[in-house]
Structure 1
Amino acid sequence: MISKAVHGSNTLGALRYLFGPGKANEHTDPHIVASWDGFVPDPGRDPAATLEQVRDALDLHVVQYGRKINNHVYHRMIRADPGDRILGDEDWAAIARRVMSAAGIAPDGDEDACRWVAVRHADDHVHILATVVRADLKQARLRGDQYRVEAELTRIEREYKLADLSDTRTREYRDAIPRRAKGSELRKAQRLGREGTDRDRLRAAVRQALVGAVDEEEFTVRLAAKGVLLGVRRAPSGDVTGYKFALSNGDGGGPVWFSGSKLAADLTQPQIQARFGLGVDRPARSAPDPRVRLVAGRHRASTTVERAYSAFVDGQDVARAEAVIRGGLEVLDALATTSPTLSRKEVHQAARALECTRIAHTRAAGADLRAMRSAARELLYAGPATSRGEDGTAAATILTSLVLLAIVIAKWHAARGHRHQAEAAHAAAGHLRAAYSRHAAKPLAHLDLEGRHLPAAVRDRQEAALRRVLPADQAARLLTEDGWAALAATLAEAVAAGHDPTTLLTQAAGRRELVTADSPAAVLTWRIRRSARLPAPAQTVTQEELRTAAARSRGTTGRPTAPAVTATVQPSRQPAPPAPGAGRPRR
């Protein structure tokens, strides 16, 4: 079950919504299932009862209070999991009474408690409307009500055997969702014209400072560079017991501190120190050319991400899955920090969505997390990228790998019934697709034009190689894709550079998750270009031809391809560059 409370000042307006048809006529048979005394008139069952009568009964103590009260209406919704059995009115009435007691609205045995009604207008949820003035004309003590309600709902789930939420593993997925901002935080952000709340901005900044950091010293320096204050809590013995964070560029009212646990379950001091304890792998040598180092770093990170797919194959190793999700989040934050403006916002939003797919209370597998953190560190220290030439194709390559990672995470959660986590992973994949299309559209348009003007004999040889490697049904599907021409052009380039197309296709197709790709042809294209170290597609077509191709491109991860246009373009015959040296990230 999930529950959320909102506050307002219009009792009659809230009742009109609850007993009305809803925004899309989704409210059916609205009626009261419980109330503070069991005798409140029910407009849903008694034609003579009116909403004004219910309003007057609920607001009685508010009127008697004699002074204006801001947000005297307490409105809480309780929704069952989609997989739960349908509960009856009596069940919802009992649940409503327990929730009102836990919230502090109507504690058990308190004769002076606040007034409330529970309205049901759908099978899977109930709304509770209360006013916050008690019969003794004191205001209810509601501080911390959300935590008390969630604890009570957990007990209710166990007793009613709902969605197997008594299983501690399910709690791990729910607890991993980042802490939501409170209403006051949302109002402050709106008042100041900020895109996100201080809590959300702070959580993103702390995560970005943590990317690939090797120790607390480096972490602290990065936090300061991002305008984040770090506070360390210590026990009387001097031992560190926790971290707290605040933004230094506040609104003049002084820093607002959040403990790590109030930001996210994996940003506590013990969890952060555990990451430092894993260390990171550092390449032995550094390529002299910064652009070569940047491209090589993205290609190596792409390979690391693809190797991580295996963590989700059997579905039983939760520790490996959590390691890859945490590491993937660091890779995304590193990529967002170093990406050009063209795709930075989409990658950042993908990272924020992937936060909601984590698994709390699970110790991540060290080797997998270390590998992903090492890739993230290399991305960060390779420096900022542009959207042109080799930088753009390298970005398209790693974004392709990250899209597939988000897809396998979504499938993994969906198989376990974690609907919210699966939706978050799909949202991350959507943002990554948008970022990918911005980098891939032009190079794939060039490759498509090259491929469509290859000699027939060359294309036949590439098709024969494809049929030798892939199963018949997969090969047939791929050959009908718009992206096949770009793949054929890439294979022709690889052959000209001295590579065997069958070997390249076998290696590229064997890296798993080809079947779940939106376009296997696009995935194979980028994998082969990476393996063969092919240069960025030669831009040998005119701008008019390119615009024609790009205008008809579908612009998604699977198919940012273009149809044939009238132009004579030969495959690139540039020799493959030497393998870049493994760059040693700077400290």
Structure 2
Amino acid sequence: MIPDVSRGNGIRPLLAYLFGPGRREEHADPHLVAAWDLHGAPDPGRHPGASVGRLAGRLDQYAQLRAAELGAMPPNRVWHCSVRAAPEDPTLSDEQWAQVAHRVARATGLASQEGSGCRWVAVRHAVHHIHIAAVTVLPSGARPGMHRDAMRAQAECRAIEAEWGLRPVGLGERTSTSYPTSAEIIKAERHGWSEPSRVWLQQQMHVALTEAADLDGYFAALAERGVIVRVRRGEDGAAVGYSLARPGDVGAGGQAVHFSAGRLDSAMSLPRVLHHLSTKKSAEGA
């Protein structure tokens, strides 16, 4: 289970996307599973007469009051966090996702243990994830203390994984497989790809390894499958690492977006690939 945190200034456009059909009609039954107060949060997905505009207005109420005092809306007031379970995890119920949302809201400082916190909602429009959307303004007009919110959200998700027996998903070398961020998923939808680049590259790595007899053969198999391979070499010319990119996946500067192999899947780091190829060669020789 991995959270992806971002900030912005418009709560209504975010809600319109979350409750909308998605860029490829992929959103199914968008609805609220949790909120700062479900009785005070109109659900555009389930309640007749509710609307995105009405919900946005309720979430933005404290910010609007503050703006009336200061003459401008508080900057970067919108907080967005998608929380995704691993695809192989059991499907969580709305009630379970509600527990996840409340725990993340408390851990990050959105919800207060004492008194009123920020206004937030959790929207579910897919099987394996929810989106928490919030306006980070307290009833007093002050801003909540949310230092290192992304790390605190991740720590809470790891605690939930351990308690519920879900697959542990961390960052970097702590995880066996990394999962796409919301930005990567949206980019895939924009390009019309069936899966984000991170997932596509992971698939190509595993298939290429089954086809290869040695390291050069592995890199060649990746290239034959359309993967852009960048090999990092030491002073002696030997490979010491590698990264991968998907054709057409470019950053703001127009350069290909490369992913470190070990961060895509720690089982596919260069040392582990070499170990697998060596073991495979020994077994075939036997």
Normalising by structure 1, what TM-score? Answer: 0.33
Partner letter of residue 45 of structure 2?
A: G
Query: Deviation string for 1:154-211 (max 9, x for gaps)?
Result: 1111222213x39xxx899535889xxxx9xxxxxxxxxxxxxxxxxxxxxxxxxxxx
Q: Does 1:81 align with 2:82?
A: no
Number of the residue aligned with 2:11: 11
Q: 1:511 to 1:93 in 2, by over 3 A?
A: closer
Find the aligned partners of 2:56 and 2:115 in 1 and give their Cα distance. 20
Q: Where do 1:358-437 residues align within 5 Å?
A: 358=266, 405=273, 408=276
Out of 121, 146, 151, the position equivalent to 1:147 is: 151
Number of the residue aligned with 1:47: 48
Q: Secondary structure at the match of 2:232?
A: helix
Find the aligned partners of 2:275 and 2:43 in 1 and give their Cα distance. 48
Query: Deviation string for 1:535-572 (max 9, x for gaps)?
Result: xxxxxxxxxxxxxxxxxxxxxxxxxxxxxxxxxxxxxx
Q: Does 1:334 align with 2:233?
A: yes
Q: 1:31 to 1:348 in 2, by over 3 A?
A: closer
Number of the residue aligned with 1:37: 37
Q: Secondary structure at the match of 2:125?
A: strand
Find the aligned partners of 1:154 and 1:71 in 2 and give their Cα distance. 27
1:87 Cα deviation (Å)?
A: 1.0
Number of the residue aligned with 1:355: 262
Find the aligned partners of 2:153 and 2:237 in 1 and give their Cα distance. 42
Q: Where do 1:196-215 residues align within 5 Å?
A: none
Contact 1:7 1:72 in 2 (8 A): yes
Find the aligned partners of 1:347 and 1:173 in 2 and give their Cα distance. 15
1:148 Cα deviation (Å)?
A: 1.1
Number of the residue aligned with 1:261: none
Partner letter of residue 148 of structure 1?
A: R
Number of the residue aligned with 1:159: 163
Q: 1:304 to 1:81 in 2, by over 3 A?
A: closer
Contact 1:112 1:136 in 2 (8 A): no
1:512 Cα deviation (Å)?
A: 5.2
Number of the residue aligned with 2:118: 114
Partner letter of residue 92 of structure 1?
A: W
Q: 1:83 to 1:304 in 2, by over 3 A?
A: closer
Contact 1:73 1:131 in 2 (8 A): yes
Number of the residue aligned with 2:252: none
Query: Which structure has the larger Rg over C-alpha atoms?
Result: 1
1:69 Cα deviation (Å)?
A: 2.2
Contact 2:32 2:45 in 1 (8 A): yes
Number of the residue aligned with 1:28: 28
From the two aligned structures, give the one with the greater helix fraction.
Answer: 1
Q: How many residues align?
A: 217
Q: Secondary structure at the match of 2:158?
A: helix
Q: 1:157 to 1:69 in 2, by over 3 A?
A: same
Q: Secondary structure at the match of 1:27?
A: coil
1:348 Cα deviation (Å)?
A: 5.7
Contact 1:79 1:125 in 2 (8 A): yes
Q: 1:513 to 1:43 in 2, by over 3 A?
A: farther
Contact 2:173 2:262 in 1 (8 A): no
Q: Secondary structure at the match of 2:82?
A: strand
Query: Deviation string for 1:282-335 (max 9, x for gaps)?
Result: xxxxxxxxxxxxxxxxxxxxx9969xxxxxxxxxxxxxxxxxxxxxxxx94226
1:42 Cα deviation (Å)?
A: 0.7
Find the aligned partners of 1:337 and 1:140 in 2 and give their Cα distance. 53
1:513 Cα deviation (Å)?
A: 8.5
Find the aligned partners of 2:75 and 2:18 in 1 and give their Cα distance. 21
Find the aligned partners of 1:146 and 1:105 in 2 and give their Cα distance. 12
Partner letter of residue 261 of structure 2?
A: L
Q: 1:30 to 1:177 in 2, by over 3 A?
A: closer
1:83 Cα deviation (Å)?
A: 1.0
Query: Deviation string for 1:458-507 (max 9, x for gaps)?
Result: xxxxxxxxxxxxxxxxxxxxxxxxxxxxxxxxxxxxxxxxxxxxxxxxxx
Q: Does 1:101 align with 2:106?
A: yes
Number of the residue aligned with 2:131: 127
Find the aligned partners of 1:336 and 1:348 in 2 and give their Cα distance. 18
Find the aligned partners of 2:92 and 2:243 in 1 and give their Cα distance. 40
Find the aligned partners of 2:20 and 2:54 in 1 and give their Cα distance. 16
1:10 Cα deviation (Å)?
A: 1.1
1:358 Cα deviation (Å)?
A: 3.5
Question: What 5-or-longer segments of structure 2 have no aligned partner?
Answer: 184-212, 217-229, 246-257
Normalising by structure 2, what TM-score? Answer: 0.64
Number of the residue aligned with 1:59: 60
Q: 1:513 to 1:54 in 2, by over 3 A?
A: farther
Q: 1:29 to 1:45 in 2, by over 3 A?
A: same
Q: 1:347 to 1:37 in 2, by over 3 A?
A: closer
Find the aligned partners of 2:34 and 2:80 in 1 and give their Cα distance. 15
Contact 1:177 1:355 in 2 (8 A): no
Query: Deviation string for 1:23-59 (max 9, x for gaps)?
Result: 1111000011111012111111112111111010000
From the two aligned structures, give the one with the greater strand fraction.
Answer: 2
* Identity across the alignment (%): 33
